[in-house]
Amino acid sequence: SNRTFTMIKPDAMKNGHAGAILDRIIKEGFRIVALKQTKLSAEKAGEFYAVHSARPFYGELVEFMSSGIIIAAILEKENAVASFRTLIGATDPAKADEGTIRKMYATSLGENAVHGSDSDENAEIEGNFFFSGLEKF
């Protein structure tokens, strides 16, 4: 598929990077299919990251992702999932390539500025977690 799903996480929102990140995403050729500013409850964050529920960092992740406002968006571009993961860089910003969004804007491994879906299937599931069919253009 040509779509992926992203979130601008609470650290990047609080640090004032949302505008720069969205500008970069658009300049890299992604089209915005859907976009909203919202806040996850701890319950909703836990549901979104349920795949990580057995990991030691799950509690920290849920607490962080429900700690502030986020932006959620569905993006469209050829080869969207892989192309977007290249743009954001490694999970740990210390290991991310120069010029990637995480290298430029992330705080730490846990507070790493953005999310990007890891497969076409998860992009579809994650997009549907936040947006109804009528909100996708």
**According to CB under 6 A, which one of 8, 21, 40, 61 is a site residue for ligand ATP?**
61
The mark string for 4-43 relative to ligand ATP (x by CB under 6 A, - otherwise) is ----------------------------------------
- Annotated catalytic residue: which of 18, 100, 115, 123? 115
* Tokens 């290298």, located at residue: 103
Of 72, 45, 74, 79, the C-alpha closest to 60 is: 45
Helices 120-130 and 80-88, interaxial angle, to 10°? 80
Q: Can 52 be counted among the known catalytic residues?
A: no
**According to CB under 6 A, which one of 70, 112, 126, 130 is a site residue for ligand ATP?**
112
Of 60, 68, 62, 71, the C-alpha closest to 11 is: 68
The binding site for ATP comprises 9, 57, 85, 91, 102, 112
Enumerate the active-site residues. Answer: 115
